[in-house]
Amino acid sequence: MEGLAWRSTGEFTFREGGALWYSLDPGSLNLVQAVIERYLWPPLWDPALLEVLRLPAVPFFLGVGALCLLLVRLGRRRQR
């Protein structure tokens, strides 16, 4: 999406991670917010995770992917 906008405007800008997530699946973003606010700790959502969701989408999703890979790797070590 960002690359297509660059071709027409000449400016390369990144969308925020939260905005991209909302455009792809708003229900899951709302579900994550509700779970964090009700069952975990409300200040974790606002301001902590809101600041993370304001990061540009590329580093945001690279971080989420790296975290998922790390969790999978840790899970495999415990199974052995």
Q: How many domains does the chain have?
A: 1
What are the two backbone dihedrals, phi and then psi, of residue 11, each rounded to the nearest 5 degrees?
Answer: -110, 130
DSSP state of 14: P
Q: 53 with 17: CB under 8 angstroms?
A: yes
Examine residue 67 and state whether it is found in any structural domain, yes or no.
Answer: yes
Examine residue 2 and state whether it is found in any structural domain, yes or no.
Answer: no
End-to-end CA distance of the chain: 42
Q: pTM (2 decimals)?
A: 0.63
Examine residue 4 and state whether it is found in any structural domain, yes or no.
Answer: no
- The parent domain of residue 72 ranges over 16-79
Structure confidence at residue 55 (pLDDT): 85
Give residue-wise pLDDT tens across range 21-65: 898 899 999 999 999 999 998 888 888 888 888 988 887 788 889
Examine residue 1 and state whether it is found in any structural domain, yes or no.
Answer: no
